[in-house]
Amino acid sequence: MAEFSTPLSMGDLKLKNRVIMAPLTRSRATADRVPTPMMAEYYAQRASSGLIISEATVISEEANGYLNTPGLFTDAQTQGWKQVTEAVHAKDGLIVAQLWHVGRVSHPDLLEGETPVSASAVQQAGYVSLLRPKREYVVPRPLKISEIQAITEQYKQAAIRAKAAGFDGVELHAANGYLIDQFLQSKTNLREDEYGGSVENRARFLLEVVDALIEVWGAGRVGVHLAPRGDEHDMGDANPKETFGYVLEELGKRKIAFFFTREYLAEDSISDYMKQRSGGVPYIANMRLSREDAMDLLQSGQADAVSFGKAYIANPDLYERLLADAPLNELVLETMIGSQVAEGYIDYPTLEESSAEVTA
């Protein structure tokens, strides 16, 4: 039976354990989306995890939907990430870059007045995250086929930069209602061309991008991030099992390194079904997992690895705490996003540091 400490091979990635740090937007990069030395320290603190998946990293300025999120489309950004990967590797860690285009989850105020793009002109309900004063999302502009191809090339160029920056691989962000997901799910894809309609057409963009990433990295260092519930950013699909089952079947044919699902455990969860359709692609489970949930998933073989998000923000030594069944630091929500200071970012104590304070 697999345990937290059991090593794992995911494609060409050799993990020392099965506890994964989930991608976590922290908005700590510079205004030009350059990773900072403080970010290098943050990731290095968490390098005891089996694998770190970086925070979502935009592939172009037009891909953004949030201030101060990092990018991988300039030389300065590449060099900034190189500091991060070197710091993680110095602690015997592994880190892959999560590549990101938000699509309609943006606003003209973040895009120099340009209209956000998507699969179709379907407006997202709600208000733009973190922009003040509050403003509603706008109706996005459907991408032309030539633009879809251009964005695929941007993903490829970002993957090339990720290699130059010293990452160990890449993960395609195809979840949470961002651009790839907007093409995949039927609620947001009303197209009538080769990128819309059937599940094969709606999945085309995702698979074309994966193929472009494989050209750069080889299949054994490419992962895909999926959200089959469609419970973020006003998403939805008429038949999630058909849609995501098809995607996993195709990813299985490509023998990618892993797939990751953001899906809480419930009777209607389909991640296990997706794993069955994948032909053996390693599966990383995520979302609201307790220690006991994670242990059960590993021991039963339902998941190959388990991932934690918010718990990793507050606990740089989360892997060690899970092994020891030790108490966790409490997350401070007020400092989670968007500050250029150490507070709430690199100052959460390890269990050893907390014990030393008590005995001092």
Rounded to two decimals, the pTM is: 0.97
> Catalytic residue among 43, 66, 178, 345, which?
178
Q: pLDDT by residue (tens digit) across 218-255?
A: 999 999 999 999 999 999 999 999 999 999 999 999 99
- Rounded CA-CA distance 329/350 in Å is 9
Beta bridge partners of 9: 14
Q: Are strands 13-15 and 8-10 parallel, antiparallel or unpaired?
A: antiparallel
Q: pLDDT by residue (tens digit) across 295-316?
A: 999 999 999 999 999 999 999 9
Q: Are 73 and 99 in contact (CB under 8 A)?
A: no
String of b and e for 279-318 (b: at least 16 CB within 10 Å)?
A: eebbbbbbbebebebbbebbeeeebbbbbbbebbbbbbbb
Q: pLDDT by residue (tens digit) across 148-176?
A: 999 999 999 999 999 999 999 999 999 99
Q: In terms of Cα–Cα distance, which of 273, 227, 185 is closest to 23?
A: 227
- Rounded CA-CA distance 240/236 in Å is 8
pLDDT at 28 over 60: yes
Report residue 132 CA to chain centroid gap: 25
- Rounded CA-CA distance 291/84 in Å is 28
- Rounded CA-CA distance 236/22 in Å is 23
Q: What are phi and psi of 99, to 5 degrees?
A: -100, 140
What band does 130 get if pLDDT is binned at 50, 70 and 90?
Answer: confident
pLDDT at 94 over 80: yes
Over residues 9-27, mean pLDDT = 98
DSSP state of 79: H
Residue type for position 156? K
- Rounded CA-CA distance 70/78 in Å is 10
Given this model, what pLDDT does residue 358 score?
A: 55
Please give the structure tokens belonging to residue 313.
């923000």
Residue-range domain boundaries for the chain: 8-359
Fold annotation for 8-359: TIM Barrel (3.20.20)
- Rounded CA-CA distance 210/153 in Å is 11
Q: In terms of Cα–Cα distance, which of 224, 266, 265, 232 is closest to 248?
A: 224
Given this model, what pLDDT does residue 359 score?
A: 58
Is 195 known to be catalytic?
no
Number of neighbouring beta carbons within 10 Å of residue 185: 22
Q: Are 343 and 28 in contact (CB under 8 A)?
A: no
pLDDT at 11 over 70: yes
Q: pLDDT by residue (tens digit) across 31-54?
A: 999 999 999 999 999 999 999 999
Beta strands in the chain (DSSP E): 8-10, 13-15, 19-21, 51-58, 95-100, 117-118, 141-142, 170-173, 222-226, 258-262, 283-286, 305-308
- Rounded CA-CA distance 172/260 in Å is 10
DSSP element (H, E) containing 40 = helix 37-45
Give the sign of the dihedral formed by CA 331, CA 168, CA 28, CA 110. negative
